[in-house]
Structure 1
Amino acid sequence: FLVSFFFLVLFVSSIFVAKSMRFELFPGDDVRLVFLQIKGEVGTPLEESDVAIAKLEKMILSSLKPEELDQIRSKIGKFMDERSSKIGNHYGSIMIYLTPPDERERTTDEIINDLVKSSKPLVPKYEITVLKRQGGPPKGKAVEIELTGDSLDDLKLLSKKVQKILNETKGVVTSEIDFEEGKKQIIAKVDNSEARRLGVSTDLIAMELRKAFSGDSVTEIRESDEDIPIRVYLDKESRGSVKTLDKLFVLSPRGNRIRLNKVVKFVERPGAFVIRRKDRKRIISISASLDKKLATPNSITKALDPKLKELLDDYPSIAYNFGGENEDTKESMGALVKAGIISFICIFFVLVVMFNSIGQSLVIMSVIPMGLIGVILAFKIKGAVLSFMALLGVIALIGVVVNDSIVLVNFINKKREDLGNDMQAVIEACMGRFRPVILTSVTTVAGLLPVAHAGLFGGSVGDPFVKPMAFAFAYGLAFATVITLIFVPVNYLIYLKVLSFFRNLFSRKTDIEDDMDGGVLESEV
């Protein structure tokens, strides 16, 4: 019981250690394509964006060493997103192709940090953003905060406050607000009470404005077989002047000419370049790129959550949500947990059918969580980041660990039949199966270690997606093998004691019932 309790405490402790470790959905060590992008005010001429990109190109070529840079490509008027791209004269993108990580001294994040610091003074009128493209399945932005509400003014004000908090957070390289103010527009606000008093409706006001700026067909002339409409509207100079609005009149149903400025107040303000909605509410997203050595999406989310709750206390109509990689992580982990539960249930039913015993099936499966201890300890000692691929390695580890336990429990059952002594049967079964179990695990671990430690002694650094999976599989199996030879026999003996206890308990109850039945018969006689 003490041995089983010790391993249980060790497993619980490893879970707490895992919670304090950094987690990343997919490893980013293989990033070789980086987008350094600019975003100016809407309406910025394409020529200005071209000049800004040219300055950044010279800076990149002079800053990066020959062993770091492969090539660069520039696109004026285009802004790349995680899954799409945007077009506009105020956009610009530079695609930076880096050399493989094993051929340069600096990491991708170190290079990006230097480029961003050098870029901001060169193009102060533009907003600098960074997008890293890496292998593997597509995922959202490293950090993305979605603000939803009905008031666009509140959303704009709050998004700037959130961006400020984000920029002050350690590990954030660049940040971006996806809302862009468009060209200036004039809003016509109708004084409804005054309009009703003068007998002017909103429709009449709208029609008068449309006639003045878009034109209205007053008649047609016929030329050959074609009818040509005659449209009347203001000239180009008048249409471009705000003062023209004060000179317009609207004709009331009574035939009175009423100045528009008596019933309408004209307000000038910037418009929206793009309006996004989610669940019928306006949405503004604030995103950021990270230095993965200093912060992860999960750590940034934990740090920002209490600050955002405090900030939104003054804005009850606005809600927030963490999207991007954080949302992708939740979806992926949810799917992984479901798959794990289904696999556990399937393994359990197969074992029950094989051994015709629920207790022995539980003994075999008890070693599965123990393999996680070796994985967590190995990643903690190495200082590596836990990832989705590492957890896939743990799922693959289950099958091998269960196989070793099946072999051991099956051999213990045979020895019990031959010897009739439970303790001696367990000891001899462990001694007899020690070499096969060890050899099976050693050969598997030996085949995985070169993949898990690729690049340790020079050469290629290996695939960053396969390495975490191989690392988790190898060290999880190495630890689980030792656990199997200790933990499974101990649990098997506990299972036998519990089984014996309940057998004795039920046999006593049966004897007592028989004695009571006998006493009743004697009294009747």
Structure 2
Amino acid sequence: TLLAIVLATGLVVDDGIVVTENIFKKVEKGMNPIEASIKGSNEIFFAVISISVTLAAVFLPVIFLEGFVGRLFREFGVVLASAVLISAFVALTLTPMLNAYLMRPGKQERSKFYNFTEKYFVKMNTSYAESLRVFIDKKWWSFPILVACLIIIGVFFSLLKKETAPYDDRSYIGLSISGPEGASYDYMDAFMNELTELINDSIPEKKVSLVVTSPGFGSSSVNSGFVRIALVNPSERERTQHEIAADLTKWTKQYPNARVNVSESPTISVGRRGGMPIQYIIQAPNFQQLQEKIPEFMEEAGNDPTFSNTDLNLKFNKPEIYVTINREKAESLGVSVLDVAQTLQLSLSGQRFGYFLMNGKQYQVMGQFDKKDRAAPMDLTSMFVRNNEGLLIQLDNLVTTEEQSSPPQLYHNNRYMSATVSASLAPGKSISDGIDAMERIKEKVLGENFTTDLGGESRDFVESSSNTMFAFGLALLLIFLILAAQFESFIDPFIIILTVPMAVAGALFSLWLFGQTWNIFSQIGTVMLIGLVTKNGILIVEFANQLREQGMPKREAILQAAETRLRPILMTSLTIALGALPIAIALGAASTSRIGMGVVIIGGTMFSLVLTLFIIPAMYLMWSRDKKHRPEFDKPEIQLYE
């Protein structure tokens, strides 16, 4: 909501600017302020309604988006749409009234600033009019320019890095540590102490750190640990949070005793905290297929330059001994399977046999072989079992043993057996690069029986991209239908919609120029552009239609309309750009992630402004049709009778 209010400061004054500028022109020509307010606001009424309704309609798809994108931007859309509609009501009611009573009648007194700047504005108007006439004579230039805009969109969209949202510097880094399966607490504690020394020596920016060995909560085990590092404020350090995390990743790779994953807290997370940005879930009908292909997949992922670190939740590192009983031999020696199972359980499980009392206290009786007699796998075969005749038979005669590694835990996803491959990205790589790399490995390694899914931040990225693309298309369709109803034509709205590809081309070029990414904020900013830039086309086309209804030829009508509307178009475009400027220059803490939205709005608005002033008049001259006069809709003259 606060982000919406910041943007609204540049949007809500647009309608007032257009109405006031039109009224002021009429007063300059000698009209009474009250009459000028009535005629000026009536003349611009249709354009203001069209601008406001289209801008409010842009936020309708955003309001009804599903998933976390909808939850995040619902209030944003409601606030902006409400602000725009209220500003339109004020511009058509309160603004004309204030102009009528506050504007001085007759010739206006000119300030020194006005006298100094007006000559430049007049020169700008005449220069634009002359340039437009030259362009109109060669109006076919419009098509190559529009094609060039489409090419710019394709080129720069492929060049831009894509992610869910840029990481804000929150002065926080997390480390998760996993040791070898079966590692003792002492082993993990020694490694955590070694890691603590590294952090204390190498990160002077550290404010405080929390180091926990073998946490006993959640799904953690003895062979795990975590570190939480809080850094001093960004203004008090030279390195960014991301640079410190990258250095830690490089240093901890040199430790062979345990695996260390360094993570930053994502700007937007849905029901999770931290973790690697790439979560690629491999699904198979059975466990054997996963066991066969996972090592090959992990080898390919580890060798891929897109990733700096890879991990797998389905780890085949739990040592197990499979005991196979020779049933025929056991039967011939008078030993049952139950006898063998009970002997192993009583010897190794450490279960309670009973209790005994001594000195008034109760003690448990625990049965288990001494540690030296059960430390090695070969000790199993040295055990004895009693047969049905009471003789002791060595287990070595009855069983065979096989050592294997199995996963400590099995995972399921969408009712399939699954394994999640997690990866952190190499410097300069984005989430889209990581997902594409995983897809390439899938095509190379996995067969048709395997399916895949995404989790974590990767899933959020794909969901947000599909949702905002749907919102963009629906907003475009809604605006076209609304304008078609208002202009009673399909041609005029199509001419106005041509401003959108020019704006999107400017937005993508601006993102590339300033080193920003294609993320959820820049996507919503692009959806906003549809409503912001069609305003310029509406002002020109609507006024040209009015002049043609008064009998002016089409060429002269569009030339006069474009020249007359030049100043309000420039003023409204500048107010929109200046309103988004605080977002683009990231004023305030934790505002880095919103830079993309400000850059998109400013770049798209200013880029399309220059092209709109030439392309829209040229397209209007080529495509706009003569309006059919329908006398039945003419307003009847009011006759007064005594």
Q: Same fold (TM over 0.5)?
A: yes
Residues 1:348 and 1:75: Cα distance change in structure 2 (over 3 Å): same
Question: Is the alpha carbon distance of 1:116 and 1:352 closer, same or farther for their aligned partners in structure 2, counting shifts above 3 Å?
Answer: closer
In 2, Cα distance between equivalents of 1:107 and 1:269: 45
Partner of 2:520: 388
Q: How many corresponding residue pairs?
A: 477
Judge conservation of contact 2:210–2:229 (CA < 8 Å) in 1: yes
User: How far off is 1:246 after superposition?
Assistant: 7.2
SS of aligned partner of 1:125 = coil
Query: Which residue in the other structure is 1:75 paired with?
Result: 212
State the Cα deviation string for residues 463-486 of structure 1 (Å, max 9, x = none): 022211111111111112223322
Match for residue 242 of structure 2? 109
1:442 aligns with 2:595: no
Whether contact under 8 Å (1:184, 1:269) holds in the other structure is yes
Q: Which residue in 2 is equivalent to 1:475?
A: 603
Mapping of residues 290-309 of structure 1, within 5 Å: 290-291=425-426, 293-309=427-443
Aligned CA distance change for structure 1 residues 158 and 481 (closer, same or farther; 3 Å): same
Report 1:41-440 matches (<5 A).
41-65=180-204, 68-78=205-215, 86-121=219-254, 123-138=255-270, 141-149=276-284, 152=287, 155-156=290-291, 158-170=293-305, 172-181=307-316, 183-189=318-324, 243-244=379-380, 265-291=400-426, 293-312=427-446, 317-321=449-453, 323-440=455-572
Structure 1 regions of 5+ residues with no counterpart? 221-230, 504-525
Amino acid across the alignment from 2:248: L
Return the offset for 1:360.
Answer: 1.7
> Partners of 2:474 and 2:395 in 1: how far apart?
70
Equivalent residue in structure 2 for 1:491, among 619, 631, 639? 619
Deviations 1:82-102 (A, max 9, x none): xx9642221121112233445
- The whole-number CA distance in structure 1 between the counterparts of 2:370 and 2:489 is 91
Query: Secondary structure of 2:491's partner?
Result: helix
Aligned residue for 1:89, secondary structure, equals coil
Q: 1:134 to 1:308 in 2, by over 3 A?
A: closer
* Residues 217/386 of structure 1: CA separation in 2 closer, same or farther (3 Å cut): closer
| Maintained 8 Å contact 1:33/1:134 | no
Maintained 8 Å contact 1:150/1:282: yes
The amino acid across from 1:99 in the alignment is: V
What is the Cα deviation at residue 197 of structure 1? 11
Moved more, 135-144 or 416-425: 135-144
What letter is aligned with 1:170?
P
Deviation at 1:410, TM superposition (A): 1.4
The 3 A distance-change label for structure 1 pair 380 and 97 is same
* 1:258 to 1:349, Cα distance in 2 relative to 1, 3 A: farther
SS at match of 2:474: helix
Which sections of structure 2, spanning at least 5 residues, go unmatched? 1-138, 355-364, 629-642
Q: Is this contact kept in 2: 1:393–1:472, CA < 8 A?
A: yes
Contact 2:170 2:590 in 1 (8 A): no
Q: Percent identity?
A: 24
Residue type matched to 2:148 in 1? Answer: L
- Helix, strand or coil: the match of 1:15? helix
Does the 8 Å contact 2:500/2:534 carry over to 1?
A: yes
CA distance, structure 1, for counterparts of residue 494 and residue 332 of structure 2: 84
Deviations 1:343-384, CA, capped at 9 Å, x for gaps: 223222222221222222222222222210110111122232
SS at match of 1:386: coil
- Distance in 2 of aligned mates of 1:471 and 1:167: 36
* Structure-1 separation of matches of 2:222 and 2:341: 32
Deviation at 1:431, TM superposition (A): 0.9
Asked if 2 retains the 8 angstrom alpha-carbon contact of 1:39 and 1:126, the reply is: yes
Q: Deviations over 1:488-508 (max 9, x none)?
A: 2222223226x79xx9xxxxx
